[in-house]
């Protein structure tokens, strides 16, 4: 099978690429390298340095004719989206629409879409949040990701384009950007290994559903043959506080400083964790890498870079 992965040089996308190549798929990567990195590119994949908003994306589809599109590319920073809402609409919504038009024109058999469970629901009125929970995102990032879900349904109904939507939790692991504004595990790990002062935004009692990247990749592979026309939460179903993440990483890294607390960031949900029982029933998916093991794997990866 030929698979086109958008964002295939990024954190999650590059792991998805590796998994497809390992299972014997022919892989094409589209990435504008705005956040992705060339060193994350699998050398066995064909790479196109293309923005998903560009007209040149159609040239990639005309040349490659992929069977499956794994749409991992997005601007994915809640805080940045509050400052640049237009950019998030342009990349995440218009870029995805450009991609779907290419899928329609060139006979793609299925689209797997990386959505967000961490931002699409807003502040939940019950936890863990299921797929039936109202979607009221508090930030332009969540709104833009949810908007594309409607377009996927539209393209399925009108053009017969199958899709599966995976609503991601807080994903962490190797290759996540330790210098970014999103991804608290990578940020704390980088600060601790460099001996810098780690700063917790707000009280640190915010809770998230932290899932290791390998488990997210497994869900993407399962969705290749299952879950057409369906939306699935991915997660453990329980929250872990930012303070606990700090404490665990402090122990693993041997960090000696105490945390400093800064102001909370606008647009961020206080507590969110996801009911993934539907994914277990219909995809056969459940997370397997426990938090402590995943954090240790992540720290070991970053240690090699310092």
Q: Look at residue 254 in the predicted model and tell me its pLDDT.
A: 97
Please tell me whether residues 145 and 15 are part of one structural domain.
Answer: yes
Please tell me whether residues 216 and 246 are part of one structural domain.
Answer: no
Q: Look at residue 306 in the predicted model and tell me its pLDDT.
A: 61
Note down the domain range covering 244.
175-208+238-303
Please tell me whether residues 141 and 44 are part of one structural domain.
Answer: yes
Please tell me whether residues 204 and 74 are part of one structural domain.
Answer: no
The active-site residue, picked from 121, 141, 232, 273, is: 141
Please tell me whether residues 180 and 102 are part of one structural domain.
Answer: no
Looking at the structure of the chain, the number of domains it has is 2
Q: In Å, what is the CA distance from 158 to each residue of 104, 152, 153, 155, 161?
A: 10, 10, 9, 5, 8
Q: Look at residue 179 in the predicted model and tell me its pLDDT.
A: 78
The separation between CA 119 and the C-alpha centre of its own chain, rounded to angstroms, equals 11
Residues 6+ apart with CB under 8 A from 199: 191, 259, 260, 261, 262
Phi, psi of 50 (to 5 degrees): -140, 140
Please tell me whether residues 166 and 180 are part of one structural domain.
Answer: no
Is the full-model pTM beyond 0.85? Answer: yes
Please tell me whether residues 250 and 200 are part of one structural domain.
Answer: yes
The separation between CA 181 and the C-alpha centre of its own chain, rounded to angstroms, equals 14
Q: Taking a C-beta distance cutoff of 8 angstroms, is the pair 179, 128 a contact?
A: no
With helix as H, strand as E and coil as C, how does the chain read? CEEEEECCCCHHHHHHHHHHHHCCCEEEEEECCCCCCHHHCCCCCEEEECCCCCCCHHHHHHHHCCCEEEECCCCCCHHHHHHCHHHHHHHHHHHHHHHHHHHHHCCCCEEEEEEECCCCCCCCCCCCECCCCCCCCCCHHHHHHHHHHHHHHHHHHHHCCCEEEEEECEEECCCCCCCCCCCHHHHHHHHHHHCCCCEEECCCCCEECEEEHHHHHHHHHHCCCCCCCEEEECCCCCCEEHHHHHHHHHHHHCCCCCCEEECCCCCCCCECCECCHHHHHHCCCCCCCCHHHHHHHHHHHHHCCC
Residues 6+ apart with CB under 8 A from 299: 189, 193, 249, 252, 253
Please tell me whether residues 78 and 67 are part of one structural domain.
Answer: yes
Q: Taking a C-beta distance cutoff of 8 angstroms, is the pair 30, 52 a contact?
A: yes
Question: Going residue by residue through the chain (306 aa), what tens digit of pLDDT does each one get?
Answer: 999 999 999 999 999 999 999 999 999 999 999 999 999 999 999 999 999 999 999 999 999 999 999 999 999 988 899 999 999 999 999 999 999 999 999 999 999 999 999 999 999 999 999 999 999 999 999 999 999 999 999 999 999 999 999 999 999 999 999 876 679 999 999 999 999 999 999 999 999 999 999 999 999 999 999 999 999 999 999 999 999 999 999 999 999 999 999 999 888 899 999 999 999 999 999 999 999 999 999 999 999 976
In this structure, how many other beta carbons lie within 10 angstroms of the beta carbon of residue 172? 24
Output the domain CATH number for residue 166: 3.40.50.720
141 classed as catalytic: yes
Please tell me whether residues 12 and 112 are part of one structural domain.
Answer: yes
Output the domain CATH number for residue 291: 3.90.25.10
- Per DSSP, which regions of the chain are E strands? 2-6, 26-31, 46-49, 68-71, 110-116, 163-168, 170-172, 199-201, 207-208, 210-212, 230-233, 240-241, 260-262
Please tell me whether residues 84 and 106 are part of one structural domain.
Answer: yes
Please tell me whether residues 187 and 135 are part of one structural domain.
Answer: no
Please tell me whether residues 225 and 77 are part of one structural domain.
Answer: yes
Q: Look at residue 7 in the predicted model and tell me its pLDDT.
A: 98
Q: Taking a C-beta distance cutoff of 8 angstroms, is the pair 68, 224 a contact?
A: yes
Q: Which residue in the block uniquely carries the two structure tokens 């369906």?
A: 230
């Amino acid at each position: 099978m030929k698979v086109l992965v958008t964002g295939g040089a990024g954190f999650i996308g590059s792991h998805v690429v590796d998994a497809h190549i390992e299972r014997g798929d022919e892989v094409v990567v589209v990435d504008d390298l705005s956040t992705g990195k060339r060193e994350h590119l699998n050398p066995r994949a064909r790479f196109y340095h293309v923005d998903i908003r560009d007209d040149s994306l159609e040239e990639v589809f005309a040349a490659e004719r992929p069977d499956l599109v794994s749409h991992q590319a997005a601007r994915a920073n809640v805080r940045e989206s509050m400052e640049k809402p237009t950019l998030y609409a342009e990349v995440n919504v218009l870029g995805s629409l450009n991609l779907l038009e290419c899928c329609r024109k060139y006979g793609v058999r299925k689209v797997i879409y990386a959505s967000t469970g961490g931002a699409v629901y807003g502040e939940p009125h019950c936890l863990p949040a299921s797929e039936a929970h109202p979607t009221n995102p508090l930030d332009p990032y969540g709104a833009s990701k949810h908007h594309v879900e409607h377009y996927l349904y539209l393209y399925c109904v009108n053009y017969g384009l199958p899709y599966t939507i995976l609503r991601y939790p807080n994903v962490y692991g190797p290759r996540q950007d330790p210098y970014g504004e999103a991804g608290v595990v990578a940020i704390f790990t980088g600060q601790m290994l460099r001996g810098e002062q780690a700063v917790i935004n707000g009280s640190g009692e915010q809770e998230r559903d932290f899932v290791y990247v390998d488990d997210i990749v497994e869900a993407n592979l399962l969705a290749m043959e299952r879950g057409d026309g369906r939306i699935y939460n991915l997660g453990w179903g329980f929250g872990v506080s930012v303070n606990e993440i700090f404490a665990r990483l402090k122990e693993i890294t041997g960090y000696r400083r105490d945390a400093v607390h800064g102001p909370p960031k606008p647009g961020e949900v206080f507590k969110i964790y996801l009911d993934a029982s539907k994914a277990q029933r219909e995809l056969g998916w459940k997370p397997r890498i426990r938090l402590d093991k995943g954090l240790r794997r992540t720290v070991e990866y970053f240690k090699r870079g310092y």
